Structure 1
Amino acid sequence: MTLKLTNTEEMDIQYDKLEPRHLRVIYELTRSLITVQDAANVLEHVLEQLIEETGAEVGAFIYYDETENRFTPQIIRSKHRDESIQFSQTIFRKVLESKEAVLSFDVQNDAEYRGSSSVVMHDIHAVLAFPLIVENRVYGIMYFDSRKNRQRFNEAARQLLSFFAPIASLTLEHVLRKNAIEKENLLLKNKIEQTAGIPNLIGETPVMKRLFHLIKKVAASDVSVLITGENGTGKDLVARAIHELSPRRNKPFIAQYIGNIPSTILESELFGYKKGAFTGAHTDKIGLFEAVNGGTLFLDEIAELPTELQTKLLRVLQNKEIIRLGENFVRKIDVRIIAATNQNLVELVKSGKFREDLYYRINVINIEVPPLRERKEDIPLLVKHFLERENLEKPIRITSAAMKKLMSYNWPGNVRQLENIIKRALIFCDGEVIDANDIQFDELDVPQFEGTLEEFKNMLIIQRLKEFNGNKTKAAKSLGISLRTLQQKVKELGL
């Protein structure tokens, strides 16, 4: 039997169904939540008290993240303290979608949940779950169940939890907001400490310390800079760091990728155009040189700049002025140019593919970003940074065997590849530990992925299933996980 209850904020509580001692419990728990500042600790006490009063074995406040569409246990209490507690996503989804509380006296024989493998797998026999709603938004779930002793909830337990759910909603909202602020402050503090004043760049090796020193020196000046280095080393981060530490820091920073863009389109993007300058030019449009005026323009993969635009860029650097397409009017600009490439510009100059005079204009200062294989001692720090950035609810530990595997690799894709591999390991590791088996190298997985961990997981699983024409056994083997784990991931993602 499943009993669905209406929105807990509008519920008509039947006080005559409450046991006398429950009135005292409600009073004490409500008083605790209202009068204390450390609500998180009080919620732990609340769970323990409610478990005792209802006869449940497991109690939890489950946070629902709307952005990533996932449930995260925020506070868990169990009578089985020596066991890792797992939950049924099916029950969570039912509560979320209906915005109604659900009571099931016998889940495994209940028609609604009989097909749920997670209910059977986690040996859940009775469950009572309430949506925690504030202003019609579901913040999470107040959840209780019984497992080993097959305890059945009674009407008094339902009434007790029905009364308490709206109060818990407001308290959980407060806890989550407080935690988010504290976590953000901690991340900012760690970032400041780790980068020694260089935004977003991580490293403590001598070669990185020299890079940091050079960035600070160059930032104080206003000369053009050429950043060189392999793909994935972080040339864009160096460019942004120079801007952030420069006197232009309060002005715009715009990055423009040069490669694989037709010359006419790139020219209109950089210089802008007058209405009627060409077919489709229905209005005047300023270019990036004007948009970034007073700030810094980062031209990524400058080696790909078409020959005709090399000449125009040279004039910009020499005269500090531009002319929009379709105009004769000269416009003065004040822009710092930072360029980057992974190619050998000297060889391109010798072969006539890149103007020599432009090369000397953009290469007043050259900064070479070292590849990861030349600073492997920074790998532990980078791994720590990537793990913390994922905002994980529980700390993830990486074993010495896994770290040794990372340290022994040659890293053709550099830091970008390391970041992708750590994201993948987080998805498929068991529990709270990344082991050597979770570290899977793939030379083709070098391109950077900018999304969340959940989006990365979705992309990776879909990619491998397509690659093997839906064959889950082969896809699981290529991902380094069991078939059962892949099937669970596919079900969770609704694929």
Structure 2
Amino acid sequence: MPGPDGVSFIALLHPLDRLRALGQLRQTGQDLATLTGASSAMAKLLRSAHQAASSQGAILIRGEEEVGKARLAEAIHFASERASAPLVSLNCQALPSERMALELMGSDEAGQERAGKFELAHGGTLVLEQVEYLAAPMQAALLQLLKTGRIQRFDSARLLPLRVRIVATSSADLEQRVQEGRFGRQLLYALQGCELWVPSLRERIADLPTLIAQQLQAQGREPAPRFSRAALDCLLAYSWPGNLGELRSALAHALLHCDEGVIPPEALPAAISQGHRLLADEVVGQPLLTLAELERQAILRCAHACKGQVSQMAQHLGISRTTLWRRLKLIGIDPADYHG
């Protein structure tokens, strides 16, 4: 049929229920209410996520690896008016570029009609994880969809009109990739209409006890194991460069090396249990952590011990309130997260 620009295009070639069956599409999941967010960083993110869920445009979710970007994308879908429509996910790094074209665009090759991910997500949400790995032709196709609401199947001249919300995730420096010619400038602008940054685990350390409790309960042990005070101090003082993935691994390690209900520091991975000590084979005076990290750990421990009371913290640390506030701002710690 003729389109508004004089271009011919066709309607979807498969009923939506068939497309859902073909792709075994996600239509149930967890919404934003299930995400842990007691820290100020997560509370701010969740407020923005609720606003994003009520909007209609594309969303770009950014942050370090293993901070929960894909889970947030799923939660936004199920908190939106598209919750009963398909949710389709694709990791852009998982397939070579030639396969990616078929997966995303579909094909009419040799008379065999094959719906791509764009079509399968019609009416719902398509989550493109690690969008920075999309090859240039697929970036162009995505930009076309965002601008016109249409896609063109692989090896076909026909255009398909689609209603799909794109949620892209990335842990890369996309601006740098634009400068290097590896990511489209206009595509970045199109995705940045709604941009959410997921905090790292070290930026939401106040959520750590709740995250740990959830992981331990998920193990299904009765009674659920718990960490000793000393072990919990180690977990709270650690900087978690691997974020939630490292946390899951650390908890699995602890459970594997603990036979009793209370988990001691010795059951933790060495990087965590000994992160603030000198290893036996280290030369005396060679710390494992930088001075900045040691300072951060001292402030974190003090925040927990003093329940975020700044005056008490300053007294214990031997510095003025003004200096403490300056350090708290520099390292991204909100004492209000530790009240109570």
Name the TM-score, length of structure 2 as normaliser. 0.69
> Aligned to 1:251, what secondary structure does the other structure show?
coil
Deviations 1:428-478 (A, max 9, x none): 2121111111111569xxxxxxxxxxxxxxxxxxxxxxxxxxxxxxxxxxx
> Aligned to 2:100, what secondary structure does the other structure show?
helix
- Matched with 2:254 is 425
- Matched with 1:350 is 179
- Matched with 2:100 is 266
2:62 to 206, 228, 243: 228
1:286 to 97, 115, 136: 115
1:401 to 208, 212, 230: 230
1:387/1:266 Cα in 2 relative to 1: closer, same or farther (>3 Å)? same
Gaps of 5+ in 1: 1-191, 278-282, 444-495
1:441/1:336 Cα in 2 relative to 1: closer, same or farther (>3 Å)? farther
The residue type equivalent to 1:374 in the other structure is E
Mean CA deviation greater in 265-274 or 418-427: 418-427
- Determine whether 1:436 maps to 2:270: no
- Determine whether 1:238 maps to 2:84: no
Matches within 5 A, 1:19-58: none
Alpha-carbon distance, 1:255 to partner: 1.1
- Matched with 1:367 is 196
The residue type equivalent to 2:130 in the other structure is E
Quick check: 1:229–1:235 contact (8 Å CA) kept in 2? yes
- Matched with 1:62 is none
Quick check: 1:272–1:288 contact (8 Å CA) kept in 2? yes
1:415 to 244, 251, 272: 244
> Aligned to 1:286, what secondary structure does the other structure show?
coil
Alpha-carbon distance, 1:377 to partner: 1.4
- Determine whether 1:204 maps to 2:38: yes
The residue type equivalent to 1:255 in the other structure is S
More strand by share: 1
> Aligned to 1:322, what secondary structure does the other structure show?
strand
Quick check: 2:152–2:158 contact (8 Å CA) kept in 1? yes
The residue type equivalent to 1:256 in the other structure is L
2:49 to 188, 191, 215: 215
1:442/1:301 Cα in 2 relative to 1: closer, same or farther (>3 Å)? farther
Gaps of 5+ in 2: 1-29, 273-340
> Aligned to 2:90, what secondary structure does the other structure show?
strand
Q: 1:308, 1:329 → 2: CA distance?
A: 17
Alpha-carbon distance, 1:202 to partner: 1.6
1:344/1:334 Cα in 2 relative to 1: closer, same or farther (>3 Å)? same
> Aligned to 2:32, what secondary structure does the other structure show?
coil
Quick check: 2:37–2:46 contact (8 Å CA) kept in 1? no
Identity %: 31
2:165 to 323, 332, 336: 336
Deviations 1:232-290 (A, max 9, x none): 1000011011101000000111110001521110010001011427xxxxx32100011
> Aligned to 2:248, what secondary structure does the other structure show?
helix
- Matched with 1:248 is 82
- Matched with 1:384 is 213
The residue type equivalent to 2:80 in the other structure is S
Matches within 5 A, 1:20-99: none
Matches within 5 A, 1:82-121: none
Deviations 1:102-143 (A, max 9, x none): xxxxxxxxxxxxxxxxxxxxxxxxxxxxxxxxxxxxxxxxxx
Quick check: 2:122–2:163 contact (8 Å CA) kept in 1? yes
Quick check: 2:62–2:169 contact (8 Å CA) kept in 1? yes
Quick check: 1:394–1:432 contact (8 Å CA) kept in 2? yes
Q: 2:94, 2:85 → 1: CA distance?
A: 28
Deviations 1:405-440 (A, max 9, x none): 101111011012111211221122121111111111
Larger radius of gyration: 1
Q: 1:275, 1:375 → 2: CA distance?
A: 49
Q: 2:229, 2:271 → 1: CA distance?
A: 21
Q: 1:338, 1:262 → 2: CA distance?
A: 21
Q: Which has the higher contact order (CA 8 A, sep 6+)?
A: 2
Q: 1:400, 1:268 → 2: CA distance?
A: 53
> Aligned to 2:88, what secondary structure does the other structure show?
strand
> 4+ residue stretches of structure 1 with deviation over 2 A?
none
Name the TM-score, length of structure 1 as normaliser. 0.48
Give the superposed CA RMSD: 1.6
Q: 2:91, 2:33 → 1: CA distance?
A: 21
Q: 2:171, 2:270 → 1: CA distance?
A: 23
Quick check: 2:139–2:187 contact (8 Å CA) kept in 1? yes
Q: 1:441, 1:200 → 2: CA distance?
A: 32
Q: 1:407, 1:219 → 2: CA distance?
A: 32
Alpha-carbon distance, 1:200 to partner: 4.2
